[in-house]
Structure 1
Amino acid sequence: MNARATLKLATLSIVSTACLIATPATADLACQARASLSPDGPLRVDFEALSANGSGAIGFLWNFGDGSSSTEQSPSHDYASPNIYHATLTVTDTGVLQQTCRDTVEVAVGVVIDPNCWGTASTRWGVAPLGVQFDAHGAFISDPPPYRCTWSFGDGDTSALCSPYHVYSLGTYWAVFTFYTSVRSYQCSTLRITAFDAPTPVRKTRWGRLKQLYR
């Protein structure tokens, strides 16, 4: 895949801080908290708890970071408002080993942690007709898909490609790159493009030619 034609996008920031408490243990209880933005709602998050090495019945407890909790292994949770939350998973082994494992996952719900997008052009000026390769770049953390790009080239033409190629006639233009998610749009870059006439060759005067003869 052409790296220039791909926007680097992410939908969730995950920070894992797993710790283990075991007394005594021959095989440590392991756990992992996972989270993903749900397609069923802009503020809904699907959680999943994974565990291994339990010696008996396993219990799960999720604290979602907003005062709510669940004892399901893989619950879904609707947050009331956009924010960054830290959900904590506690897994308890009630068997012989009596172990507890904890893991924390950070979820960005309805907010953009690092909104960053920009457009580039292979050249900003040159002789008309001027061909320019445009490329879109960006990093979006929490906005859900679908995603799309638009380029407005400033001469009446547009493109829905993230990395279009466009040919300019004589003149100066402003190319605008806009990136869209399912919830908002970002005007990322405005690039000035100038296409000019080829320089006219300078003709030597008769006096200039005579000067060359007598050098």
Structure 2
Amino acid sequence: MRFLVLSDCETKMGDDDKDSEHDDMSDSSCNATEDEDEIRIQLGPKMSIREHFEKDKDDESLRRWKEQLLGGLDAAHVQEHEEADVKILSLTIVSDGRPDIVLEIPESGNPKERPWFILKEGCKYHLRFSIKINNDIVCGLRYTNTVWKTGIKVEHWKEMLGTFSPQPEPYEHEMPEETTPSGMFARGSYSAKTKFVDDDNNCHLELNYAFEIHKEWAN
């Protein structure tokens, strides 16, 4: 999660100065909102992994590229026209000098714990996602994250994760390092919405949660 660090005067702004594009956190739809300003492109027809193997099979360079992308996956054991099954298994918060915070992702996408986790102000950390891919290739998987504090949107961030083929073991994807804001007005409670969406506009997870920033790490 990246933050726009608020100055004291920005944090004290009145209702008239609040972000007019603030999303309603009660909206649980996985569809993209106007706020995300996603650029849609026309994609070619969807093909199964088996069809990908059969297409241009006499082209040696393409065959090797496909084998590298699929990581030795046996296409004969993949179901025809099965949609990619993408599961975000866990979120790990990694910060030097302290134990990792490992958070299992609930199937509902709404952690019961409030806050779900606590961060120390001014700390450097990064996120690590464990992602399991089954059945088919998922193309252009991207991560979006929006954070609010007292009804004011303080962050909206997008990150392209990439294209993944199915494999028995989960992928471990590490996000860039971030720094939490610091100061009296940075501390407190935040609400957030995270989405994982692919190039076909399939939303594989929408995660709504709350977290807090404290002066020190929680015991």
User: Shorter-normalised TM-score: what interval?
Assistant: 0.3 to 0.5
Question: Which one has the largest radius of gyration?
Answer: 1
Greater share of residues in helix = 2
TM-score normalised to the size of structure 2?
A: 0.32
When normalised by structure 1's length, the TM-score is 0.33
The structure richer in strand per residue is 1
